[in-house]
Structure formats: structure tokens, C-alpha cells
Amino acid sequence: MSIKRGYEDGSANRRLKEIRSDSFLKMAGFRVGDKRSFDKEFPHFREPVEIGHFSLDISRTFHCDKSQLKYFIKPKDFKNVRFDLTKGYSEMIKKDETKTERINDILRWILRNKETFNLAAEGKSADSETIRNLNTDFICWRGLLTKLLCTPYENRDDWKIAVTLHNGTYYLCEFDTEAKKKEKAERTERQEEMCCWGWKFEQYLTADSPEGKPSPEAVFNNCEAFGTVVRSRLASHSLVFSGEVDAIDVDPRTGKSHYVEFKTSREFSHPGQHVSFKRYKLIKMWAQSFLVGIPEIVCGFRDDEGTVHRLETFQTNKIPYVAKDIRYPWKANVCFNFLDQFLLYIKATVKEDNHRLVHLFEWNPGMDVQCTKLALDSDYTFLPDWYINS
């Protein structure tokens, strides 16, 4: 029974809530320090294996199927296209950003695929305890891991991550920082439109079937999505995480297929912009696709008016080498060693197995990671009752 339910009086309830919201315990921090401390041999990272997928429809309703999977339809000439990313923006159907989704869709997938985690497959008896335990160290969104991988080289964006240990598994959920909330609140209409250009770009390159044709005249949205769920291992950490996939590329001759990621970027007008692209954008493109095993990224280069004039393909595994010629280049091994050490820090810090308890990890560029142990049932508690009670 939660503390809150132990009181009947409304004023006592309010006061207790105020006390609890202010209750916390600062824990030992994690030193980010000099990047050279992470410049060691690349840790073992097992190739990600897809263990499932799901779709979200126009109303953001979860479906455990491939109904939202799109197919990559390649233009005839990558060097000569004309994609107007502003077309149809006024009619665009936008996701309701006021609804908090947290990691709920991953949890829904887990509940529908419990057999994937059954330890009986590994020769252990399938008693009630083994079925409850997911036999996985960490569960989260791919985007959260991408942010962590880029942290050693990030100089602008901070982050805030809530962690809960439940039945032997660490669940990680990202929350908006105060800086992110402020940035969202102060976006201009033009900035809002530019944030939507990526979804319009996908519309020019995808169809609902391998034989279909793109329909850039149709109304577009950022509600529908197809997600892959993968299992991997980084050093001593077993990982299950999910990320959105833009499309699948099917070879009509062999039938072989692979996922592909789409990105847009401003066309370079001077060498400094090209260096900036390699330093700040390529690292995020690489981390995002490498984590889930997407081998190919198609980037559309646009002008300031929102028109893409050319496409360029990047092979994910080769991106770290593309960025090597800049001064003080980012290194893939540094990124993964940082992630490995940070996950070890979580394991060493979060010891109490309790779905009502959250440890909050916060980081600002140039600082060390700070950890706060929050009171039970804080505003950052994110595992829903329907998941716990299942």
C-alpha cells in the first residue's frame, strides 16, 4: 500500500504529497571527465537481432504487426531530385504531444511476447519466477541509448533519465529537461514546420508495397510508426530496446532486404558546414542506425526553402571513418566504452528492486552525471499499473 493511501484527510494528503515531492537523496555521481579515459579497445557489442516489431496507427493505437512498415522506392537519379518538404504542411496530422507515452509501447510488446523472455528456452525450468524475470538487464528506447553514446562529444543538449529496477530488470525512460521544455515552448511556427520536414521527406521515398509508388500529394502525419524490437549485448549488459524504422529496402532480384534510415540536412555552402556535419550530425546518424543494425542511411540535402535537390547514401559501418579527417574526430570506441561504464554505474547505484522507486540521472555538458534517489511514487515513476499487475 502506498503512503498516500494511508491517509483519509484531504489536507493531509496534499501536505504529504508536498513533503514526498521534496524528498530525495543525492547519490555519488558518475565522472564523465576526459574523453581519453574512454579511449580504449572497442567493448564487445553483439550484433543486434530483431526479436519482434509493432505498428502504431493514425490514432497511435498499438498493433503487434507490420501494418505500418513502409518500402523504400528509389528515385532514378539520386543527384537530381526535387522534393518540396513544405508541401501539405498546413494539412499535416500531428501527434498530440501533450499525451505522455513514456516506454508504454515497449511494455505492450513485452506483454504480448512473454515467451521471448522465457528462461525455459535456456534449459531452465519454467516456474513462475523465471516467467516473471525477463532475463534482461536493460529495457529502453533506442533514442535514449543514442543520446548516451553521443554524450562524450555533446556540447549543447542536456539529458534526464529515470531508472527503475523491477523484477531484476532496469527500465530506463527519458524525461524532458527544463532546457528542452523551454526550447519547445519558444519554437516559432517556422521552426515547428522545419521539425516536420523529415516526415515529409519519407513520403517522397516510400510506399505501402515494394511495387508501389510514393504519394507526396497525400496528407502526411507523424502519428503512424513502425518499430523494431532488438536484443543485443554490450560487454556484460544484456539489452532489449526498440526504435522506429523508416522503411525496408527489398532487392527485387534476390528478395533480400534490410532496413533503411532517412535523414535530411542543409546543403553545404562552405567547408565549415561540411566539418560541422561530420562532427555533430554524422555521430548521431551513426549511433542511431548502428544500435539496431540498420546498414544504410539515405540523406537528403535541402536548401533553406525546404527543397531537397540531391540524395546521398551512407553505409553505417563506414561513417566513423568518413568523420576521421576532421580535427579531433569523434571515436566509436569512446562512445561505446562510455555507454558500458555508465550502465555499470547504474547497476552499482540502483540496488532496490521496487517499481515505485526511481533514481533520476541528470547530465549537463561539461559536468558529471548526477544521480538522485527519489521518494516512492514520485512524478518520475513511469511503470504503469497495468504492466506491473500483469
Q: Say how far residue 74 (Cα) sits from the centre of its chain.
A: 26
Q: Is 112 helix (H, G, I), strand (E, B) or coil?
A: helix
Q: What is the mean pLDDT of residues 256-274?
A: 96
Of the pLDDT bands very low, low, confident and very high (cuts 50, 70, 90), residue 297 is very high
User: What's the N-to-C CA distance of the chain in angstroms?
Assistant: 17
Q: Count CB atoms within 10 A of the CB of residue 301.
A: 17
Q: What is the mean pLDDT of residues 252-272?
A: 95
Contacts of 115 (CB under 8 A, 6+ apart): none
Rounded CA-CA distance 355/353 in Å is 7
Closest to 153 in 3D by CA, of 348, 337, 360, 372: 337
- Tell me the pLDDT tens digit for each residue of 170-229: 999 999 999 999 999 999 999 999 999 999 999 999 999 999 999 999 999 999 999 999
Tell me, what DSSP letter sits at residue 38?
A: G
Cell numbers given for 124: 531452465
- Tell me the pLDDT tens digit for each residue of 68-111: 999 999 999 999 999 999 999 999 999 999 999 999 999 999 99
Angle at 197 between CA 294 and CA 200, to 5 degrees: 75
User: Above 70 in pLDDT, residue 331?
Assistant: yes
User: Above 90 in pLDDT, residue 239?
Assistant: yes
Tell me, what DSSP letter sits at residue 115?
A: G
In this prediction, residue 247 carries a pLDDT of 98
In this prediction, residue 130 carries a pLDDT of 46
Q: Count CB atoms within 10 A of the CB of residue 82.
A: 9
Rounded CA-CA distance 142/243 in Å is 5
In this prediction, residue 23 carries a pLDDT of 52
φ, ψ of residue 195 in degrees (nearest 5): -65, -20
Q: Is 48 exposed, middle or buried (0-12, 13-18, 19+ CB in 10 A)?
A: buried
In this prediction, residue 117 carries a pLDDT of 86
- Tell me the pLDDT tens digit for each residue of 102-142: 999 999 999 999 988 875 345 454 444 444 689 999 999 99
Cell numbers given for 178: 527544463
In this prediction, residue 11 carries a pLDDT of 38
- Rounded mean pLDDT of the chain? 91
Q: What is the mean pLDDT of residues 343-352?
A: 97
State the residue for C-alpha cell 511476447: 113
**Percent of the chain topping pLDDT 70:** 91
